[in-house]
Amino acid sequence: MRVEKGIPTSLEKLTKMRDQARAGGGEKRIEQQHAKGKLIARERVALLVDEGSFEEVDPFVVHRATDFGLDQQKIPGDAVVTGYGRVDGRLVFLFAQDFTVLGGSVSEAVGQKIYKIMDMAMKVGAPVVGLNDSGGARIQEGVDSLAAYGGIFLRNVLASGVIPQISVILGPAAGGAVYSPALTDFVFMVKGVGQMYITGPDVIKAVTGEQVSHEELGGAEVHATKSGVAHFVYDNESACLQAVRRLLGFLPLNNADDPPRQEPADDPERRDPSLRTLVPEDPVKSYDMLQLVYRVVDDGDFMEVHQQYAQNMLVGFARMNGSPVGVVAQQPMVLAGVIDIDASVKGARFVRFCDAFNIPIVTFVDVPGYMPGLSQEHGGIIKHGAKLLYAYAEATAPKVTILVRKAYGGAYIVMGSKHLRGDVNLAWPTGEVAVMGPEGAVNILYRDLLSKSEEPEETRKKLIKEFKGKLANPYIAATRGYLDDVIDPAETRPRIVKALNMLQNKRDTLPPKKHGNIPL
């Protein structure tokens, strides 16, 4: 009898506490959040995971602090919703900061909730997605809130390269709080909703006198185009969270897991004769490398990363015969596909991500070289350019490289060449490997001759033609074995599929070391 009586009482209490947790900071604050055009934490979680799959952890945790009136504001769950769920049936851990509770600020308790799911994600090997919407460290808790951030940063670093980590910026991320997203693999932002900065507009005005809005300072557009902090940008939260789901579909759950296969509608043997005319005959004319990528990968499905940043370099995820690959390519339509500082950093970070999770890297090369110029030299193209080189050389994931047109100078070596452990290197007949472009080479080699020539332009043309015939083609590299084969462009897809099949069980190592010293 006593037990029967006890059950409803305790269930009532449970239901009441759960309702309290679900209500977060209460109706008024939820309305305020909606009025700003923002969703609340639980609505975001519902959009991210498969319906009915979310298992909440720690809904009853409250902060311990009592000063500054905090004893009156203990809300079950505190300022974050944490737990795990499924995305297309695959496990994912997540936290969603709840701005309706003390501005989503990070207390000691919030930190501990986040650690708990990060630690669990590491133990079982599954990605963590963080939905960020927070005023930063909880001011009233002082050092305890800083300690909480320290614990999150540490886990971000320890988890790096072990499980994929994704940050979604759906509100403010200010001060040191930006460093957790910055340590993760991919940052998503929503225009007009998410902002990231080290110091806000008020501080900037006080220190430098500059006047700038939140959005101009650290909005999605700025981070997608200028700083490169944001990898993906969307117009609204729903589209953004759908894109997070799509990205997860390309990623293995952890560094020991195989990338997820998806049965393609596309035929692995599909030839595409239209590729034969993609590269214009005139070597200075550009073409859209994206067209090549779309025509080669499964079902034309390519998820571009950093779409608006350093557009001379293309990076992103696709599938070849069902298995995910990382695609790296030049975009001849932007700066002729030259490698500058931003392109190098963009490419290097992507190659290193793929390698950490053993996602094969497919590289399409059309590169006239590294970017010349005072600003690039003074900006450190030497050290930044070395990052891409380091990343390719270090990578032990399968590497398949297609030389489409130019591969000049150091950039030839960098872009997945045989010399940096490229596994399968193929060239189109339009491929050119040379120390530099024919025009530059002729100017240097025949300076005297040209200055004495009565018809310098005619002589130059003749010499360029001669140089091209001798050196600017793929066949010399192929006779040395630096290229494994020269192929019909129409065969590109089946040849890549076969190479990747062959490389499926590839094992390669690095010398034992604590870690390398990539030029940062």
Q: Which residues form the interface with ligand HXC (CB under 6 A)?
A: 102-103, 105, 135-140, 146, 149, 172, 174-177
Supply the minimum distance, in Å, between the C-beta of residue 64 and ligand HXC.
15
Nearer to ligand HXC, 182 or 476 (CB): 182
Asked if 148 contacts 106 with a C-beta cutoff of 8 angstroms, the reply is yes
Supply the minimum distance, in Å, between the C-beta of residue 226 and ligand HXC.
21
The tokens of 511 are what? 């010398």
Asked if 237 contacts 34 with a C-beta cutoff of 8 angstroms, the reply is no
User: Beta strands 432-434 and 399-408: pairing type?
Assistant: parallel
Distance CA 383, CA 388 (A): 10
Supply the minimum distance, in Å, between the C-beta of residue 46 and ligand HXC.
23
Supply the minimum distance, in Å, between the C-beta of residue 43 and ligand HXC.
18
Burial grade of 147 (CB within 10 A; 0-12, 13-18, 19 or more) = middle
Supply the minimum distance, in Å, between the C-beta of residue 65 and ligand HXC.
10
Nearer to ligand HXC, 174 or 244 (CB): 174
Task: Write down the catalytic residue from 109, 329, 395, 411.
Answer: 411
Angle subtended by helix axes 492-502 and 289-296, to nearest 10? 60
176 among known catalytic residues = yes
- Closest alpha carbon to 277 in 293, 292, 294: 292
**If DSSP states are collapsed to H, E and C, what string results for 365-404?**
EEECCECCCHHHHHHCHHHHHHHHHHHHHHCCCCEEEEEE
Asked if 46 contacts 54 with a C-beta cutoff of 8 angstroms, the reply is yes
Nearer to ligand HXC, 151 or 519 (CB): 151
Task: Write down the catalytic residue from 125, 161, 175, 249.
Answer: 175
* Terminal-to-terminal C-alpha distance of the chain: 70
Task: Write down the catalytic residue from 228, 410, 440, 490.
Answer: 410
CA distances (Å), 96 to each of 40, 153, 234, 444, in order? 9, 16, 18, 60
Nearer to ligand HXC, 87 or 220 (CB): 220
411 among known catalytic residues = yes
Task: Write down the catalytic residue from 125, 151, 161, 176.
Answer: 176
Supply the minimum distance, in Å, between the C-beta of residue 202 and ligand HXC.
8
- Residue 432 identity: E
Q: What are phi and psi of 196, to 5 degrees?
A: -125, 130
List the catalytic residues: 175-176, 410-411
